[in-house]
A and B are shown apart, each in its own frame.
Chain A
Amino acid sequence: MPNIRSTSTEAFDNLISQKVATLPPSGIRKFFDLLSSIEDVISLGIGEPDFVTPWHIREAGIYSLEKGYTMYTSNSGMPELRQELACYLELHYGVSYNPEHEILVTAGSSEGLDLVLRAIINPGDEVIIPDPCYVAYPADITLAGGMPIPVPTDETSNFVVRATDIEARITKRTKAILIGYPANPTGAVMSKKEADAIAELSRKQDLLIISDEIYARLIYGAEHICFPSLPGMKKRTILISGFSKSHAMTGWRIGYVAADRRFIQALTKIHQYTLLCAPTMTQMAAIEALRNGEGEVEKMVQEYNRRRRFMVKRLNEIGLPCFEPKGAFFTFPSVKATGMHSEDFAEKLLLEQKVAVVPGTAFGPSGEGFVRCCYATSLPNIEEALRRMDRFVSKGTRRSR
């Protein structure tokens, strides 16, 4: 019986659940600590928009406070917001959800993902994920009592997970496939053909698809495939999305899940005991975002696109080959030519040239040999960062000769 007053590490560790204690910390954390000690760093490591939330949306948030909307809303979110969401999904992706029973408003898509996994996973259930992928996927699956089953992806398929590779990992315990395209960290988008193949597989194997489409609006010269819009997929897909990336609303924490009624009922059960409801002020801002936010979204997408083209071209020029990422705001260049591992590269680049990038391995073992560079920062910053990276890479080349 541990003495709870004891401050010894052992006793303390006993107080933390084994699941949490053994959960590896995010690979990003280490860089965060290192970075905080250095000045004048240009960071390409930030995974959020550099735009401030458009003023009309902020103003709606202020208005809601001014008018005293400070109480709980219904568990599933304000009816007007769910109605707007239903219209939005119908308009953009041609998929219709009943706002009353098939949409749940969450505190960010992160809450949505956590709810979904907790709602569907029985102990030991397996959930297939692409590798590399967003840092929360494997962690959330583990916390929900499941087993993350990574499917390695590589540059030959532009880091899009293939149906055949998924199929090879399906077991009796496989419960769902969790995908997120456009992807963090690679910027990859999934084509119709690739999505169709996965949809076909999920129908054949009777598997659930969890589709994290938080980056859906940040797409350049390609069409976003909304998974539930594929034939027969609405009933076996859980769609997770939010406003953080499309409307530059990361700090507001507002997202949603759209799915068949039975899933939303299950999710709402957990949500009502944990969050109760998403913040009211934020919900009101989100209504404004949906009603009048299109112009601003398009402006931001256009700006990202200019930076994207610039960064991809420069990366290739300086000898860090990079496929063309058609979504999100990330590039995923290969650093193999430098002979360094991802972590080495990122650490030395930070120390020698004060540019922060995130090693690909923070997103899974298949990220080895790559780093994530985010272009959600000003063009002058991107230009300067790439000048420094150029110096770093050519210095490395001379060094090794």
Chain B
Amino acid sequence: MKEIFEILEQNARATPEEISTMVDKPVSEVKKRIRQAEKDGTILKYKAIINWPRLEREDIWALIEVRITPQRGVGYDAIAERIYQFPEVYSAYLVSGTYDLSILVRGKNMQEISSFVAEKLAPLEQVQSVVTHFLLKRYKEYGEAFHVPKETNRRLPITP
């Protein structure tokens, strides 16, 4: 039944009827699965991927490397949660390597991001250091490429 979610991941607007045909299972069963998944948090949300640059609204993005001190009992999770709760934080990951958290921050302008770093993130007791990389260009997110003009069909209209 993972196939239902694979289909929804590709197209959140696929209807239960369409999905039922594609996976060859009754509509009622598909609906039940989806309802259940929505309830238990398997499906978190349905969103659109907006190509904002096309609308000439380019937010400022920064990828921030954060080194943190883990805490007894909860490791990195408690401090990670304190950080990712900020609405400026778009995504957050614990990573291996020379730093601990990799967070993607979104702001209306550079000022907004620098005040987030200076006033909220860096002063946190467990945060040892931050390195901020402003994004120059976003190419691809969620498996979808931005800035790529819709590809014209390269196939001949009729082939044997």
The interface of chain A, by Cβ under 8 A from chain B, is 26, 28, 31-32, 35-36, 41, 43, 45-48, 50, 134-136, 184, 302, 305-307, 309-310, 313-314, 356, 358, 379, 383
Contact = CB atoms under 8 A, between A and B. Distances in A.
A43 B158 contact: yes
A52 B9 CA distance: 21
A46 B155 contact: yes
A50 B7 CA distance: 18
B156 interface: yes
B24 interface: yes
Interface of B: 3, 7, 11, 18, 21-24, 155-160
Contact of A47 (B11, B21, B23, B160): B160
A310 B23 CA distance: 9
A370 to B, nearest CB: 16
A383 B11 CA distance: 14
A47 B23 CA distance: 24
Contacts of A307: 22
B158 A358 contact: yes
B156 A46 contact: yes
A41 B157 contact: yes
Contact of B157 (A50, A313, A356, A383): A356
Tell me the interface secondary structure of chain A in the complex: helix
B158 A32 contact: yes
A313 B17 CA distance: 11
A309 B21 contact: yes
Given A46-B159, A307-B22, A379-B18, 13 more contacts: A28-B158, A31-B158, A32-B156, A36-B157, A43-B157, A45-B158, A47-B160, A134-B160, A305-B22, A306-B22, A309-B24, A310-B21, A356-B158
Given A48-B155, A50-B155, A136 B21 contact: no
Nearest to A303: B10
B6 to A, nearest CB: 8
A35 B157 contact: yes
17 contacts: A43-B158, A46-B156, A46-B158, A46-B159, A136-B160, A302-B3, A306-B7, A306-B23, A309-B23, A309-B24, A310-B21, A310-B22, A313-B21, A356-B157, A356-B158, A379-B11, A379-B18
